[in-house]
């Protein structure tokens, strides 16, 4: 991964780290609290052994018969202290409450001890364990929710930032794209106004100015069509895509000549019939041809091929330019995206051309794709569904 990308992800990693810390902190405090609760519950039941001894005292004093005494003590245990039991001194540990201080040595109950039932202690410990397990599970869920939230937050912030950066780039490019032909027009008109130019030169000037007007028209058309967006109804008409291609090639003849690029049309398109909206379809072709000429080295050829493939008409526009780098192939159809090749102000562009082309082809139920052969240059292919023969007849 590029180091810059790693740095850009730093806030995300920090956010993830923060989520882990927050969860760990939460689990730690909850588990600590559960240990304290367990401890105090154990101490509380342990204290019952001494309370029970105090309750046994009247029975011991009242009952002289050892059997009756035992019955009285057992009744108190069952009724009021079900968590306690009486055991012999030999089995007891150090913590238990002994009956010895209340009885004479000869008394058969002398060696008895009151203690908390092991099952009560196990119950308290089991409760504490399941509470802790619950905290770990809750902590895990909490962490997952936090991580998903952090991811969504990071993604939306980075999208916003990328969009903002793209808008800035677009504004810069659009200003450049609109101002450059205007400046050239102004300069040309000022030169023509001086009236000292011979007719041959002024004709050349006028052609140049016309080229600038075409350029302005082309960019403004792109922007307006994109601004209208999907709300605009397409006016679908049957037609031969070869006618659209030829018309657009004619429009670009002067521009291609100025860059010494040859436009070569081939293929079997003359009998094809498709449904398309001439306005947006031709603007799509203009965008592709404009890029092919723009990114072609001087003196190269742009090859346009129209073909029938199954039930589809395809139009390929292939140039001998630098091609689209692998890393950009996914992004070139995004709005405002301008790649390495298109980043030079000298070449111009707004990053809208391919976005518009993709939207238009989708609305036509066709497609646009960049062919992935690893040779030099780029080849963009448009596909449109052919009208079947019955529909073609009807359309005619
Ligand atoms: P732009 O106005 O920048 O040409 P596009 O949407 O038409 O905008 O194209 C987007 C990007 O795709 C360009 O900036 C460029 O990097 C790349 N691209 C498009 N067409 C070609 C091509 N024929 N050869 C090389 N790169 C191309």
Residue 3 CB partners (closer than 8 Å, separation 6+): none
> Among positive and negative, which fits the CA dihedral 323, 326, 328, 331?
positive
Of the pLDDT bands very low, low, confident and very high (cuts 50, 70, 90), residue 9 is confident
pLDDT at 114: 92
Q: Beta partners for 97?
A: 114
Closest residue by CA, ligand 1 atom 4: 349
pLDDT at 394: 52
Lowest pLDDT segment from 191-200, 323-332, 361-370: 191-200
Q: How many CB atoms lie within 10 A of CB 383?
A: 22
What is the percent of the chain where pLDDT is above 70? Answer: 92
Of the pLDDT bands very low, low, confident and very high (cuts 50, 70, 90), residue 360 is very high
CA–centroid distance, 245 to ligand 1, in Å, is 19
Q: Phi/psi at 221 (nearest 5 deg)?
A: -60, -45
With vertex at residue 386, the alpha carbon angle to CA 380 and CA 388, rounded to the nearest 5 degrees, is 170
Residues 266-284 have pLDDT tens digits of: 986 668 999 999 989 999 9
Q: Is the pLDDT of residue 1 over 60?
A: no
Q: Is the pLDDT of residue 13 over 80?
A: yes
175/229 Cα distance (integer angstroms): 21
pLDDT at 307: 93
Report for 126-135, 151-160, 190-199: range of highest mean pLDDT: 126-135
CA–centroid distance, 318 to ligand 1, in Å, is 13
122, two tokens: 């196990």
Q: From the alpha carbon of 341, which atom of ligand 1 is closest?
A: 16
pLDDT at 220: 87
Q: Is the pLDDT of residue 38 over 70?
A: yes
pLDDT at 37: 96
Q: Is the pLDDT of residue 8 over 80?
A: no
- Residue to substitute in 178, 256, 261, 341 for testing ligand 1 pocket (most ligand atoms within 8 angstroms of CB): 341
310, two tokens: 């199954």
pLDDT at 343: 63
Q: From the alpha carbon of 350, which atom of ligand 1 is closest?
A: 2
How many residues in total does the chain contain?
396
Of the pLDDT bands very low, low, confident and very high (cuts 50, 70, 90), residue 164 is confident
CA–centroid distance, 162 to ligand 1, in Å, is 18
Q: From the alpha carbon of 343, which atom of ligand 1 is closest?
A: 14
222/173 Cα distance (integer angstroms): 13
pLDDT at 342: 64
Of the pLDDT bands very low, low, confident and very high (cuts 50, 70, 90), residue 103 is confident
pLDDT at 245: 95
CA–centroid distance, 121 to ligand 1, in Å, is 75
321, two tokens: 């330019």
> In the predicted model, what is the mean pLDDT of residues 83-102?
83
Sheet with strand 312-318: strands edge to edge: 262-267, 301-309, 312-318, 379-385, 367-370
- Residue to substitute in 175, 324, 326, 327 for testing ligand 1 pocket (most ligand atoms within 8 angstroms of CB): 324
CA–centroid distance, 206 to ligand 1, in Å, is 29
- Residue to substitute in 332, 361, 373, 382 for testing ligand 1 pocket (most ligand atoms within 8 angstroms of CB): 332
CA–centroid distance, 268 to ligand 1, in Å, is 27
What is the percent of the chain where pLDDT is above 90? Answer: 48
What long-range pairs does 225-228 form, CB within 8 A, spacing at least 24?
225/279, 225/280, 225/283, 225/356, 226/335, 226/352, 226/355, 226/356, 226/359
Q: From the alpha carbon of 317, which atom of ligand 1 is closest?
A: 23
CA–centroid distance, 167 to ligand 1, in Å, is 17
CA–centroid distance, 253 to ligand 1, in Å, is 20
pLDDT at 34: 95
pLDDT at 391: 53
pLDDT at 304: 96
Ligand 1 contacts (CB < 6 A) are 287, 291-292, 295, 319, 321-324, 332, 337-339, 341-342, 349-355, 378
Closest residue by CA, ligand 1 atom 21: 291
Q: What pTM, to 2 d.p., does this model score?
A: 0.62
pLDDT at 291: 93
DSSP state for residue 386 in the 8-state scheme: B
DSSP three-state, residue 245:
helix
Q: Is the pLDDT of residue 393 over 90?
A: no
Backbone region of residue 186 per phi and psi (left: phi > 0; alpha: psi in -120 to 50; beta: other values)? alpha
38, two tokens: 């367990």
pLDDT at 254: 86
367/385 Cα distance (integer angstroms): 9
Of the pLDDT bands very low, low, confident and very high (cuts 50, 70, 90), residue 303 is very high
Contact by Cβ (8 Å): 302, 377 = no
Q: Is the pLDDT of residue 53 over 60?
A: yes
Contact by Cβ (8 Å): 59, 72 = yes
Q: From the alpha carbon of 322, which atom of ligand 1 is closest?
A: 25
Closest residue by CA, ligand 1 atom 11: 338
> In the predicted model, what is the mean pLDDT of residues 283-290?
94
Q: Is the pLDDT of residue 81 over 80?
A: yes
Q: Phi/psi at 102 (nearest 5 deg)?
A: -95, -10
Q: Is the pLDDT of residue 395 over 60?
A: no
Q: From the alpha carbon of 342, which atom of ligand 1 is closest?
A: 14
Residue labelled with tokens 């939306």 = 156
CA–centroid distance, 135 to ligand 1, in Å, is 54
Of the pLDDT bands very low, low, confident and very high (cuts 50, 70, 90), residue 351 is confident
Contact by Cβ (8 Å): 168, 175 = no
Residues 203-260 have pLDDT tens digits of: 888 888 888 888 888 888 888 887 776 666 788 999 999 999 999 999 899 889 988 9
Q: Please give the full DSSP string across 362-383, using - where no structure is assigned.
A: HHTT-EEEE----SSS-EEEEE
Residues 361-375 have pLDDT tens digits of: 999 999 999 997 666
Closest residue by CA, ligand 1 atom 24: 323
CA–centroid distance, 314 to ligand 1, in Å, is 20
CA–centroid distance, 379 to ligand 1, in Å, is 12
Mean pLDDT of the chain: 87
318/11 Cα distance (integer angstroms): 42
CA–centroid distance, 353 to ligand 1, in Å, is 8
């Amino acid at each position: 991964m590029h180091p810059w990308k790693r740095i850009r992800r730093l806030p995300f990693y920090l956010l993830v780290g923060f989520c882990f810390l927050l969860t760990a902190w939460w689990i730690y405090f909850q588990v600590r609290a559960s240990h304290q609760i367990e401890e105090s519950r154990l101490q509380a039941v342990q204290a019952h052994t001494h309370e029970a001894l105090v309750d046994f005292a009247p029975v011991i004093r009242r009952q002289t018969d050892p059997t009756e005494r035992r019955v009285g003590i057992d009744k108190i245990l069952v009724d009021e202290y079900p968590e306690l039991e009486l055991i012999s001194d030999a089995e007891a540990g150090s913590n238990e409450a002994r009956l010895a201080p209340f009885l004479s040595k000869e008394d058969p109950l002398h060696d008895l001890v009151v203690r908390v039932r092991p099952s009560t202690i196990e119950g308290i410990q089991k409760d504490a364990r399941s509470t802790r397990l619950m905290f770990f599970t809750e902590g895990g869920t909490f962490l997952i929710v936090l991580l998903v939230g952090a991811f969504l937050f990071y993604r939306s912030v980075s999208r916003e930032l990328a969009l903002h950066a793209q808008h800035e780039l677009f504004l810069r490019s659009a200003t450049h794209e609109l101002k450059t032909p205007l400046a050239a027009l102004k300069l040309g008109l000022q030169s023509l106004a001086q009236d000292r130019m011979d007719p041959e030169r002024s004709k050349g000037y006028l052609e140049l100015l016309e080229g600038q007007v075409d350029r302005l028209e082309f960019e403004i058309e792109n922007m307006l069509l994109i601004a209208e967006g999907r709300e605009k109804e397409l006016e679908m008409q049957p037609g031969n895509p070869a006618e659209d291609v030829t018309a657009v090639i004619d429009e670009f003849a002067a521009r291609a000549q100025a860059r010494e690029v040859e436009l070569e049309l081939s293929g079997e398109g003359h009998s094809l019939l498709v449904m398309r909206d001439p306005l947006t379809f031709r603007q799509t072709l203009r965008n592709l041809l404009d890029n092919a000429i723009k990114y072609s080295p001087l003196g190269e050829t742009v090859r346009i091929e129209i073909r029938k493939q199954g039930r589809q008409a395809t139009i390929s526009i292939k140039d001998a330019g630098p091609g689209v780098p692998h890393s950009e192939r996914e992004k070139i159809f995004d709005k405002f995206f301008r790649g390495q090749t298109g980043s030079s102000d000298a070449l111009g562009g707004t990053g809208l051309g391919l976005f518009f082309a993709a939207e238009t082809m989708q609305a036509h139920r066709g497609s646009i794709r960049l062919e992935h052969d690893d040779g030099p240059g780029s080849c963009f292919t448009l596909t449109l569904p052919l009208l079947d023969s019955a529909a073609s007849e009807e359309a005619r």
